Amino acid sequence: MRALLDFISKYYHWLIFMVLEGFSFVLLFQFNHYHSSVWLTTANRVVGQVDAWEQEFLRYIKLGEVNEQLTRRNLILEQNLDILSARLAALTHDSTATERLQAERLSGITTIPANVVTNSVLRRNNFITIDKGEADGVQPEMGVVCGTGIVGIVYMSSTHYSIVMPLLNSRSRISCRLRGSSFFGYLKWEGSHPLFATLDDIPRHARFKVGDIVETSGFSSVFPRGIFVGKVAKIENSDDGLSYKLRVHLGTDFSCLQQVIVLSQQFQPELRDLEQKADSVASS
């Protein structure tokens, strides 16, 4: 204690100088709009660069795990593709039927690969930042997917970056259906577990079981039909008892999300404008 008091008494003038200097900087940036804007811009740029370096380092150390997951999924997809190709060729007597079907489904869709800069899974309204923006063709209301399923929808974009509203956001609503049927509902996240979401409004006469695949319905301009979302993990009654509520195990693990793909569909702006006009007419 004596040594501390001796140190303060010896260098008290420097301590006072540092306190006054810090106080002067606070006054400078708080009451001068120009200095405040320069400080905030510089700070945001530095924080963004540090976040980018951090994500780059995390991507590097997780390359082995990511490659293992991609290899395993590619193997499963190749096996399924071989089985479906053989069955389709046997039914149609045309070995090119599968290629034509795939081309039709992907026609008019441009894929824009991007890296995840920042991500969160612990909040009720999570957001994801990606390193692609308007300069790369990314616009709001575009769908975002990854190798294991859908991720979310572009919420806003700047020149070189975009903010994505993922499934793990209480305001997210994505039209999904049970694969192989016409029954659809809206997928939403209730803020509990990052690997599970809820599919509402499935009618009582629908026939399905635990383990059935949930995919995008295609009833919007955001996602094409048939993109994998997850699997039915639990079946419950809705709050009013008039429909089913399905607990869906999501295919996307947001806690280790590193790369995504933005889907740019042909004529999407035209379709979105038409839908907005129809909504305005209905509300008026």
The residue-averaged pLDDT of 266-274 equals: 64
What number is the average pLDDT over the span 227-252? 88
Residue with tokens 């260098």: 11
* pLDDT at position 270: 62
Q: Which residue has the tokens 């693990």?
A: 253
pLDDT for residue 99: 47
The length of the chain, given as a count of residues: 284
CA distance 262 to 116: 12
| DSSP letter for each residue of 113-165 | EEEEEE--SSSSB--EEES--GGGT--TT-EEEETTEEEEEEEEE-SS-EEEE
Q: Which of 151, 133, 138 is nearest to 110 (CA)?
A: 138
231 touches 149 (CB < 8 A): no
Q: Minimum mean pLDDT among 39-53, 169-183, 210-224, 227-241: which range?
A: 39-53
Task: Give me the CATH topology for the region 110-267.
Answer: Thrombin, subunit H (2.40.10)
Query: How far is residue 77 from each of residues 71, 188, 266, 267, measured CA to CA in Å?
Result: 10, 27, 26, 29
| pLDDT-derived band at 179, boundaries 50, 70, 90 | confident
* pLDDT grade for 171, boundaries at 50, 70 and 90: very high
* Measured distance CA(94)–CA(97) in Å, rounded: 6
Residues facing residue 176 across a β-bridge = 185, 216
212-236 b/e (C-beta count within 10 Å ≥ 16 → b) = bbbbbbbebbbbbeebbbbbbbeee
Worst-scoring range by mean pLDDT, 83-97, 109-123, 153-167, 229-243?
Answer: 83-97
Whether residue 268 is predicted with pLDDT greater than 70 in this model: the reply is no
Q: Does the pLDDT at position 192 exceed 70?
A: yes
Q: Is 280 exposed, middle or buried (CB count within 10 Å of its CB: 0-12, 13-18, 19+)?
A: exposed
d(CA 182, CA 188): 19
For 107-132, what is the mean pLDDT?
A: 88
Q: How much is the pLDDT for 98? A: 44
pTM: 0.63
Q: How far is CA 76 from the centre of its chain?
A: 24
**210 pLDDT more than 80:** yes
Higher pLDDT, 135 or 21: 135
